[in-house]
Amino acid sequence: MPAVVRGGRSHTIRVRAKVITDGGFVAPDARARAGRPRLQHLAVDATMGQGCCVGSAADPDVVTIGETMAMVVPSEGQPIRSAALFEVHAGGAESNVACHLARLGVRSAWVSALGTDALGDRVLTAIASRGVDVQWVRRDDRAPTGVYFKDPGDGVSYYRRGSAASLLCPDDLARVPLGTARVVHLSGITPALSDDCAALVAAVIDRVAPSATALSFDVNFRPGLWPATTAGPVLRALANRADIVFVGLDEAAALWGSQSAADVRAALPGPRYVVVKDGDVGATEFGPAGRVFVPAIPTDVVEAVGAGDAFAAGYLAAMLRTAALDDDLAAVRGSDPTQAGADAVQLAVERLQAGHVSAGLVLRSISDLDVPEPVNASDLDVPTPVNASELDVPTPVTHPTSTAPDLRSDS
């Protein structure tokens, strides 16, 4: 069992959690049954994660799309105002997800644009060195690579206006294998960068819609890019067209006035899976198992920025590993709702646990990607589901199936 050492004290991380569920198996919604056959080919093959490099012959299992910048961070985890030594890393929500997925053995690719400057060279090399396919990254001599500064304990400062990635447009998708990937992952940062980037996001969703590819969307609201009054309706519309959505409860409160995980689900009836993260409290999944909550892992936090990306990667990697099992169980247990419900809850627990473990590693590091050795799987205690009625959990909300709104209709 590894321990985190800070200030001469040793802090052991151990996963012990109760799982709160709303009881009973909830069948996939009518949209998932009657619509396009998403989430049916998510299981990865035995070679995933091997040979993920520039020009890799194998199509990626996960394609992520979005801006990555050069990230400047104090070497010793000190505040910028007092730090003497700094390091330069690559940092961006979508490439972070791709890198963590590659670390977890998932064949991943990142699509973006970088300047033809030295920082762009450095970012591209850094992402590729982590096993991510970067062959669809365009180099643009019209604009620079963006830069941001991570100030441990005090957030980040961005210098990205007019960056090469802000010039991304639908034409950049021409050769990207969106329809053959198992998952395409986007975030709410990209549509805020420029009108062309918003058009690119719309084009991705339109291309993925008729395919069997699952669309993953992390809301990732950035108030510095656009106000909640503008972002709220756009991000809600985008999220409702996705299959898998990640959102922080604090984000949902700012964007849609949501005060609870159930409120978030009510605002997002379209996705088959909605994952609501509540910081050091835990995370809730709304999906085939109904509502499942797994508490966060107690962790000594060095820097929180980037942990959400790691959570998404851990969750998606677990989903990819268990998707075939999920389908098999649904077929085998179809006549036994009780067993089907238990199986669905266990899979949800594993997905949320994987997200927490992955996020916990980033929380212990000044880097978004250079993480400590993970906790051994044998040290993880798989939680025992507890019925909501035994824990005074509010009655779950029933969410009727509805047609997801048009991408820009309520913006």
The residues that are catalytic are 309
Q: Which structure tokens are listed for 160?
A: 């990205």
d(CA 303, CA 75): 12
Burial of 149 (0-12, 13-18, 19+ CB in 10 A): middle
Buried b (16+ CB within 10 A) or exposed e, 310-322: bbbbbbbbbbbbb
CA 284 – CA 274 distance, rounded (Å):
8
Residue 408 structure tokens: 């820009």
Strands (E) located in 22-97: 62-65, 69-74, 86-91
As given in the structure block, the two tokens for residue 48 are 């995933």
Q: What is the DSSP string of 328-354?
A: HHHHHTTT-HHHHHHHHHHHHHHHHHH
Rounded to the nearest 10 degrees, how much is the dihedral formed by the CA atoms of 169, 171, 172, 177? 130
| Radius of gyration for the chain, computed over Cα atoms and rounded to the nearest angstrom | 20
Distance CA 33, CA 273 (A): 14
Encoded amino acid at 357, one letter: V
Cα-Cα-Cα-Cα torsion 172, 251, 395, 26, nearest 10 degrees, comes to: 10
Q: By the 8 A CB rule, do 163 and 140 touch? A: no
How are beta strands 385-387 and 290-295 bridged, if at all? unpaired
Name the nearest CA neighbour of 133 among 53, 78, 70: 53
- Contact between 280 and 296 under an 8 Å Cβ cutoff? The reply is yes
CB atoms under 10 Å from CB of 408, counted, come to 14
Residue of 249, 187, 253, 180 whose CA lies nearest to 219: 187
